Chains A and B, each alone.
Chain A
Amino acid sequence: MSNTKVKKITDYTSFFRKRFFTIIISSITPMILVSGIILYQFNISYHEKVHAHLAELVLKHKQNIDGFLMEKLADIRVLAKTFGFDELSDEAFLQDRLEILQKGYGPVFVDLGVINSKGVQVAYAGPFKLGKAVYSMAEWFETAMKNEYVISDVFLGLRGLPHFIVTVRNTWKGEPWIIRATIDFVAFNNLVGNIRVGETGFAFILNRKGALQTKPLFDIVPEKGPYLEFMNAELKEKDNVQIVERKDDSGSKDIYVADFLKDGDWLLVYQQKFSDAFSDFHKALKVAFAIIILGGLAITIVAYMLSTRMAYRLARMDKERQMMDEQIVETGKLASGGELAARRAHEINNPVAIMVEEAGWIEDLLEEEDFKEGKNLDEFQRSLNQIRNQGKRCKEITYKLLSFARKTDSTIQEVHLNDMLEELVAISAQRARYSNVTINTNFQGNLPFLEVSLSELQQVFLNLINNALDAMEKTGGILGISSRLEEDHVVVTVEDNGPGIPKANLGRIFDPFFTTKQVGKGTGLGLSICYGIIKKMGGEIEVRSTVDVGATFYVRIPLTKQKGKAQQEDIATA
């Protein structure tokens, strides 16, 4: 039975654990599910939103840049259509034209040049001294001769500065000629360079060979990254904006958005760090995680507190119930045991009383004259005396059995409990040493005097100490004796860590004649006498024990003797 008691204690931890995890799982799972789904959906839609936004951005700028280029080209075409080769070959006229253009469109046009079919620049207007330059070997010249109009890639050219040109071919007297305009690189570069989003978003233009056409804000290596893939993708879908997310060498993710310009000659690339593009999303994610973690923490704490409290309550309720059971068992057993013994004793005493009275009656009769002379008178009297004495002996036996009291001095006196306990410890010290038992004492100082019988109290505690020493005789152990004041009574605990008392016996140890000692070694009256004495003092004696852990006796003695005093006086007069 005591095993179930031990098991029960572990049950509380498993109860606690179950309760704890149930609360946590049932609370955290939906929280994580809901937030996970929401975050996932949010992630998708935010992605789409960012992509759409960037695509829109790139598309707009592509149109913008295309528009810019077309406009410049149109200007030059108008110039070529309006005036003939002869007019434009005149450098002064050409200079006028350039000034008009620059007045109308700002300093976008750097210079103008007219080149004949042999590649010789016949006229030039602009800040560079490029008159009569020969372009027959220049790459762009060939292309310009083949096409009606051309917008070139950026190149260094004769002037050694990055620039690009717009050429328009025309025919004069059967011979093709070309008018060429240089577009201000800085102005164009700004057009692209101004595309800035966040901290890391920037744009640049690549030509089909992967050469940079504008100066990117951050260094890029056109051979790396997805730029060439964008070029190749052209074959499939020409008009669509392409979006790719890719990790670079350093492991950080970038988002690339690209679209073709200039009829597929150039590629406008917008590039941004992924973390930057999604910084708002990441911020939201961080907040969400913080909330989840805080929520989880709160749930854990609440679960822990709730479960602890529940387990504690359960344990306390169990303990209370168990204690109540034990106490009921104890008092019930004692009552029944005492009751039974009392009835038996009464039954013995009554016939004995009759026998004694009959003997007494004979004795009375012997006093009469008639018998005084009888020769066996002495024998009669001796025999009657014997009957009376044996009757008294019967009475004494039952008295001893039932009074639960030995020949003790029940005179009430002021007893200093701690001194008395110290004395008992000293008396028991020798025995304790033999049994390898350490006695620890913990007495609360300043205990008030108790008005009780010293020898009775000594008997009680000597009994408890001896029992504890008996219990630990073979194993050794620790005997703890402590005293303390609690409200209106003094509590003395006698605690051992011996083998403990099995639950089956726990309810019976205060019963008279109950003993677990060998026949002849114990009367079974020790604890029932203790019980009787303490009860008489108006106190209480109680035991708690777990097998293999030990047993603890609690003795409560009231400071003000109410019932106890009256009883003791009555007995004294008896």
Chain B
Amino acid sequence: MKSPLVMLVDDEVPFVETMVKRLEKRNLTVLTAFTGNEALESLGKHRNTDVVILDVKMPGMDGIETLQEIKKKFPLIEVVMLTGHATVESAIEGMKLGAYDYLMKPCDMEQLVTKVDEATRKKKDHEEKIREARVKEALSAHGLE
């Protein structure tokens, strides 16, 4: 399986920098964004992004709002929420709004990578199903099946 394309969104620059290094070391391709808006912009350019790792608590547009926007504009992209525990409630809300899962900071790297892999697989499955459906549609359109 092709290595997943991940976007990490967090306002804490040092956190993002280190995380990028660590994730890349685990064969992930990582895009970064420090605000919600930046993330949406970047996603517009990189539509093939598989998973967004999104901090819930950010200044300006917060994680929940960003999530809603992502799900609206790029419904297939999976989102894993990251949260300090105080915002569990908002993480739960995020789950309801379609986030794949949430993790609490500081999170275990292996756990995070596992979640990202799972989310990627889910996304790929999704895409596969869509492709199959399209093929079926195309075939039936041509009266072949």
Contact = CB atoms under 8 A, between A and B. Distances in A.
Contacts of A358: 14, 18
Contact of B106 (A392, A403, A570): A392
A402 B86 contact: yes
A27 interface: no
B75 interface: no
B106 A356 contact: yes
A574 interface: yes
Contact of A395 (B12, B21, B85): B85
Contact of A364 (B25, B102, B104, B105): B25
A353 B84 CA distance: 9
A360 B85 contact: no
B139 interface: no
A567 interface: yes
A346 B86 contact: yes
Contacts of B14: 354, 358
Nearest to B86: A342
Contacts of B57: 346
Interface of A is mostly: helix
Given A345-B84, A349-B106, A403-B85, A357 B95 contact: no
A398 B86 contact: yes
B25 A353 contact: no
Interface in A383-403: 391-392, 394-395, 398-399, 402-403
A312 interface: no
Contacts of A570: 92, 95
B22 interface: yes
A353 B55 CA distance: 12
A250 interface: no
Interface string A331-370: 0000000000111011011101111111011001000000
Contacts of B87: 342, 346
Interface residues of A, number: 32
A459 to B, nearest CB: 19
Contacts of A341: 86
Nearest to B21: A361
A360 B20 CA distance: 12
Contact of A346 (B15, B84, B101): B84
A100 interface: no
Contacts of B25: 364
B109 interface: yes
A391 B101 CA distance: 22
A567 B92 CA distance: 7
Nearest to A344: B86
Contact of A350 (B15, B22, B95): B15
Helix, strand, loop or mixed for chain B's interface? helix
B107 interface: yes
B62 to A, nearest CB: 12
A353 B22 contact: no
A567 B88 CA distance: 10
B142 interface: no
B15 A402 contact: no
A32 interface: no
B122 to A, nearest CB: 15
Contacts of B102: 574
A566 interface: yes
A340 to B, nearest CB: 10
A422 to B, nearest CB: 34
Given A349-B105, A364-B25, A570-B95, A354 B88 contact: no
A350 B96 contact: no
Contacts of B12: 350, 353-354
Interface of A: 341-343, 345-346, 348-350, 352-358, 360-361, 364, 391-392, 394-395, 398-399, 402-403, 566-567, 570-571, 573-574
Given A361-B22, A394-B106, 17 more contacts: A349-B85, A350-B12, A352-B105, A353-B12, A354-B18, A360-B18, A361-B18, A364-B21, A395-B106, A398-B84, A402-B85, A403-B85, A566-B92, A567-B92, A570-B92, A570-B95, A574-B104
25 contacts: A341-B86, A345-B84, A345-B86, A346-B57, A346-B86, A349-B84, A349-B85, A349-B105, A350-B15, A350-B105, A352-B105, A353-B15, A353-B107, A354-B18, A357-B109, A358-B14, A361-B18, A361-B22, A391-B106, A398-B86, A399-B104, A402-B88, A403-B85, A566-B96, A574-B102
Interface of B: 12, 14-15, 18-19, 21-22, 25, 57, 84-88, 92, 95-96, 101-102, 104-107, 109
